[in-house]
Amino acid sequence: MDEIWERAVETALDGRTDYASARTLTLDGAVKCVQGRLPPPSLLEKFQNIQHLSIANIGVSSLEQFPRLRSLEKLILSDNLRSLEFLAEAKRDLDLSNNWIQYIEDLAPLAQLKLVSLDLYVCPVTRVKDYRSRVFGLIKLLKYLDKMDADENERPESDDEEEEDEKMRMTLGAEKLTARIGLIE
């Protein structure tokens, strides 16, 4: 199973091996976890500068071995979990949509995190009476729940995300230009 995860990471990185420079890793649906386990911690620990990790729809049922990724700001775990017990710290944005989270009490581990945004779309908990006010009461620093603030105003598009996208496009463009210049010389 470890080899399958390693191949999935290699594919997601387009063959690049500089894990330290990776800021985003998307493994959505890349591997189906038969036992509901995450990839080996040693594999994800290579990404100490990662800011955005998406492991949606892989069949994870527990985060027991989730590594500490200090730079991680956004974690997407949609279509996976049944328990939040071992959720790692230091996330700003967390997407848990379409997971089997039924009760407000199931969200208690999130109260310790410094969450700014939490998405719980299609989770059974969204049908609990006073769901929104109870979640905002539980997670004190939370500003956005399901992309809306406590007053149900939509979350504005982040200038930071747009700036990051532009930086990425510029970096990739510069790398391609450098490669072309190298070919010409």
Per-residue pLDDT reduced to its tens digit, 147-174: 999 998 998 876 445 445 444 444 444 4
Round the CA-based radius of gyration of the chain to a whole number and report it. 18
Enumerate residues 6+ apart whose C-beta is below 8 A from 123. Answer: 96, 97, 98, 99, 100, 101, 102
Count of positions (residues) in the chain: 185
| Closest of 122, 137, 129 to residue 81, by C-alpha | 122
Per-residue pLDDT reduced to its tens digit, 110-135: 998 888 999 999 999 999 999 999 99
Quick one: pLDDT at residue 89?
Answer: 60
Per-residue pLDDT reduced to its tens digit, 36-95: 777 788 888 999 899 999 988 888 877 777 888 889 898 888 888 666 766 666 578 999
CA angle 83, 88, 90 (to 5 degrees): 135
